[in-house]
């Protein structure tokens, strides 16, 4: 159990360090002082979620359908997984998944505009879920993937999961000649 948590925390630390160029000020990097744990998470989440949407919007349907090897998911399938999992992770904070939302159907979407619309909706839901949490709520007990934990850990997973798949989207895009819009 310690090794996956250590790996997740390392991933988060690397993600938070990414993009902290020497020429930008702490305020430009979003490091101004915040008053809540939720604000700290949201500063990073907002950057990650906007980047994955902008990058995948730039990719064509064919590029989103591409697989590095036949045994791995295409980016469109990864986005379906990201969509559904964001709803599941947010539910660990105590926010219910809407009864009319079919998470298995979300994972099976394959058309670019439908997937990106769903991604924007799941991003907005995840963001609203985290924004509604005060510091005390972050420390509440929660069951995460069947294990005792805290709401804070569920929020950490939301941010880390977004970072993981942004990195994957960058790799898939660059493998096909797509330059992330923010790195020009």
- Domain-located, residue 6: no
Considering only residues 17 and 62, tell me which one the structure prediction assigns the higher pLDDT: 62
The pTM of the full predicted model, rounded to 2 decimals, is 0.81
Res 184: pLDDT: 74
Q: Is the pLDDT reported for residue 14 higher than 50?
A: no
Question: Residue 111 is part of a domain; what is its CATH number?
Answer: 1.20.120.450
- Domain-located, residue 10: no
- Domain-located, residue 14: no
Domain that holds residue 177: 37-183
- Domain-located, residue 145: yes
Average pLDDT over every residue of 96-104: 94
Number of domains in the chain: 1
Neighbouring C-beta atoms of residue 181, cutoff 10 Å: 11
Residue 28 binned pLDDT confidence (cut-offs 50, 70, 90)? low
- Domain-located, residue 27: no
Burial string for 77-114 (b: 16+ CB within 10 Å, else e) reads bbbbebbbbbbbbbbbbebeeeeebebeebbebeebee
Residue 5 binned pLDDT confidence (cut-offs 50, 70, 90)? low
- Domain-located, residue 3: no
Q: What is the per-residue pLDDT across 156-179, written as a single tens digit (0 to 9) for each?
A: 999 999 999 999 999 999 999 999
- Domain-located, residue 26: no
Residue 19 binned pLDDT confidence (cut-offs 50, 70, 90)? very low
Res 35: pLDDT: 78
Considering only residues 149 and 25, tell me which one the structure prediction assigns the higher pLDDT: 149
- Domain-located, residue 85: yes
Q: How many CA atoms lie within 13 A of 9 on its CB side?
A: 8
Alpha helices (runs of H) in the chain, residue ranges in sequence order: 2-17, 37-58, 61-65, 75-91, 103-107, 112-131, 135-138, 151-175
Contact between 46 and 127 (Cβ < 8 Å): yes
Q: Is the pLDDT reported for residue 142 higher than 50?
A: yes
């Amino acid at each position: 159990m310690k090794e996956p948590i250590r790996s997740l925390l390392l991933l988060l630390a690397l993600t938070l360090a990414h993009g902290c160029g020497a020429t930008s000020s702490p305020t430009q990097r979003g490091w101004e002082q915040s008053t809540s744990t939720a604000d700290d998470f949201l500063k990073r989440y907002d950057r990650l979620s906007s980047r994955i949407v902008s990058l995948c919007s730039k990719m064509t349907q064919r590029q989103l359908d591409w697989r590095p090897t036949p045994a791995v998911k295409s980016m469109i399938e990864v986005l379906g997984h990201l969509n559904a999992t964001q709803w599941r992770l947010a539910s660990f904070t105590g926010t219910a998944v809407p009864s009319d939302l079919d998470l298995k159907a979300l994972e099976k979407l394959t058309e670019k505009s439908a997937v990106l619309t769903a991604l924007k909706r799941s991003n907005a839901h995840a963001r609203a879920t985290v924004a509604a949490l005060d510091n005390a709520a972050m420390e509440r007990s929660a069951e995460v993937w069947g294990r005792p934990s805290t709401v804070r850990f569920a929020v950490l997973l939301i941010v880390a999961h977004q970072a993981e798949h942004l990195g994957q989207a960058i790799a898939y895009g660059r493998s096909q000649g797509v330059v992330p819009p923010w790195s020009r």
